[in-house]
Structure 1
């Protein structure tokens, strides 16, 4: 957790954020009061009072029995506000539409957030067999095309020691294996995820270098059943062109601040 030097953290605010992040990470698995109290190491009575406050404000929801808790609708509204206010997302969206129309595959925009990549925009495939993706999804950076494209933009020394989580049998779980892959990404100019994050799916990732080091990347995800050598070459050609044009397009700031 990062803090501004010289400013003391407000414990109640930090606890609230930790609770919301915990509930959001659980997805469709609601939590019970005691579980939340244990995970955050706070008294059961304090956790109950915090939950009731957040329920009244729409940040947490509960079931009809009042015993299960999940993330509330105001988290969605706030997340949507983040996307709508981000000049980079607004700039990239039309290019995602263009790549989707040209390739007929699923196209993503993601942003590095610590050791994960957060999905900021997705254009689903036109085909029946689709990949599994959604805005707001998070994946460890070491297992996906988006994350590996962004890790390759950074010095090897910044890569944390392993072992890394395996999402499939093809995931890199050691630092040595990931470093070797990132060296290939730098030489090639884009990343390839061959069933490392999701079995049956190959992804191609392209860092957007309008920031240094790059924070955002775009990718194309394809089921193996549709991936032929000719289709792979076309994906790379189209996505490289899309990346070049995105990087050459100034963001539509409209007087917006430059966020750090």
Structure 2
């Protein structure tokens, strides 16, 4: 829920989030029952969002869905702020070279937002999908990005993790995670050792700006039925080479950064 200090804008964004999370048309009564706002406040927020094109209202069915204006803004944000348009050709090449699924992600607060995915021809069911948000403390991509955050941002992010045990391999405390992140900073790569999903393993690395700021993460994902963690470690040179190509393209795409370097990744 949006905090009180965010005022009306925060409440409106909270309503948008909840309509989006519904995954389809949602009724006023459902938003009222599951939400924190009084009937009059919710009605006013929905009316404003609808009139601005951020939501669409089907009067006959009495349902709300995401609006065309929001979709247009999302498309612009995707092309301007997401790494996906810059990195996709490199993801596609890495997937072909390894025969495995390749993921691209960015941090969404303290969580992992999957912004692109290229599947190998051998389809494998897994949690990750473009546009989906997942935990960072128990995924290779999440740990790779957390490891290279500035100290203050890392402290905040670690305080926002749930540390829920998904599998026997899940790290369930900030102390255990910090120790893991220290190793990741030294190695430049992170592993998912079936920590989020049984049978799913990956090797991941952060994508940094030339100023050393986290821009995203890149991973190669497989299953224990196809590869071992040792097998994945042999793909580290390909992973790191692809990361370097993406970082180079990003620098050409964006203005160079000013300010001190924050973190460096071993190569």
Match of 1:206?
A: 205
1:166 to 150, 164, 186: 164
- Cα offsets for 1:79-130 (capped at 9, x unmatched): 2221112374332222111111111211111111211121111112221334
Aligned CA distance change for structure 1 residues 183 and 61 (closer, same or farther; 3 Å): farther
- Cα offsets for 1:160-195 (capped at 9, x unmatched): 347724261232221111112112212322110112
Aligned CA distance change for structure 1 residues 64 and 204 (closer, same or farther; 3 Å): farther
Distance in 1, Cα, partners of 2:84 & 2:251: 9
8 Å contact kept, 1:171–1:196: yes
Q: Is residue 239 of structure 1 aligned with residue 239 of structure 2? A: yes
8 Å contact kept, 2:83–2:115: no
Match of 1:13?
A: 9
Aligned CA distance change for structure 1 residues 190 and 61 (closer, same or farther; 3 Å): farther
- Cα offsets for 1:207-228 (capped at 9, x unmatched): 0122523131111111221113
Taking structure 1 as the reference length, the TM-score comes to: 0.79
Shift of 1:64: 6.4
Q: Is residue 105 of structure 1 aligned with residue 100 of structure 2? A: yes
Distance in 2, Cα, partners of 1:50 & 1:159: 30
Taking structure 2 as the reference length, the TM-score comes to: 0.77
Shift of 1:11: 3.0
CA RMSD of aligned residues (A): 3.4
Q: Which moved more, 1:249-258 or 1:130-139?
A: 249-258
8 Å contact kept, 1:124–1:130: no
Aligned CA distance change for structure 1 residues 159 and 52 (closer, same or farther; 3 Å): closer
8 Å contact kept, 1:119–1:135: yes
Distance in 1, Cα, partners of 2:218 & 2:194: 17
- Cα offsets for 1:20-78 (capped at 9, x unmatched): 112323446x6553453355432213313433554563625669642x65545654443
Unaligned runs of 5+ in 1: 4-8
Q: Which moved more, 1:242-251 or 1:119-128?
A: 242-251
Match of 1:149?
A: 144
Give the count of matched residue pairs.
251
Match of 1:140?
A: 135
Shift of 1:197: 2.1
